[in-house]
Amino acid sequence: MFEWWHWVILGLFISLAEMAIPTFFVIWFGIGAIVVGLLLLLAPGLTLAVQLLVWAAASSALVVVWFRYLRPKTRTTAGTSADSAAGEIGILVSELPPQARGKVRFQKPILGADVWECYAEQHLMAGERVRVVAVEGNFIKVERPANA
């Protein structure tokens, strides 16, 4: 039978494993184990089946709360949000027919790069100024700025 301190130590070890497995996922199982340890401290005598059920429920709830409500929204490796690129102005490197791919160059790097592959829904000429509408994976969608 597990004692309360067994769960707390297990929770600490699992939480420390997050340092070796940098996914920010394992920690929730460690915190779930600590929750079971604290519950056992307050209400000793829970069966092993109940302890495991509480651990699974607490861990799952923490994972759901993290991914649904607390996790930072779309982040890039440069540490800036993809949403922050919307509205940036760049210059097309070459002619860009509708739904074809081209390249756009920015005066300052956007999300870590100053040249991006892009596409547009309208025909755009080389050297034309374009505005970023959205970041879609490794491509950006551009359009002619409203004041052009």
Domains of the chain: 4-70 (no CATH), 82-143 (2.40.50.140)
**pLDDT for residue 89:** 87
Q: Is the pLDDT of residue 148 over 60?
A: no
**pLDDT for residue 82:** 61
**pLDDT for residue 107:** 79
Question: CA nearest 102: which of 87, 121, 88, 86?
Answer: 121
Question: What does the alpha-carbon distance between residue 123 and residue 99 come to, in Å, rounded to a whole number?
Answer: 9
The number of CA neighbours under 13 Å toward the Cβ of 35 is 19
Question: CA nearest 104: which of 80, 137, 136, 127?
Answer: 127
Which residues have C-beta within 8 Å of that of residue 68, sequence separation ≥ 6?
A: none
DSSP string, 45-81: T--HHHHHHHHHHHHHHHHHHIIIIISPSSB-TTSSB
Look-up of token digits 């079971």: 36
Question: What does the alpha-carbon distance between residue 148 and residue 92 come to, in Å, rounded to a whole number?
Answer: 14
Question: CA nearest 87: which of 110, 105, 119?
Answer: 110
Pairing status of strand 139-143 against strand 113-119: parallel
**pLDDT for residue 81:** 58
**pLDDT for residue 80:** 53
pLDDT in tens, 81-130: 566 677 788 889 888 888 788 889 887 777 777 888 898 988 998 889 99
Contact 31, 46 (CB under 8 A): no
**pLDDT for residue 139:** 84
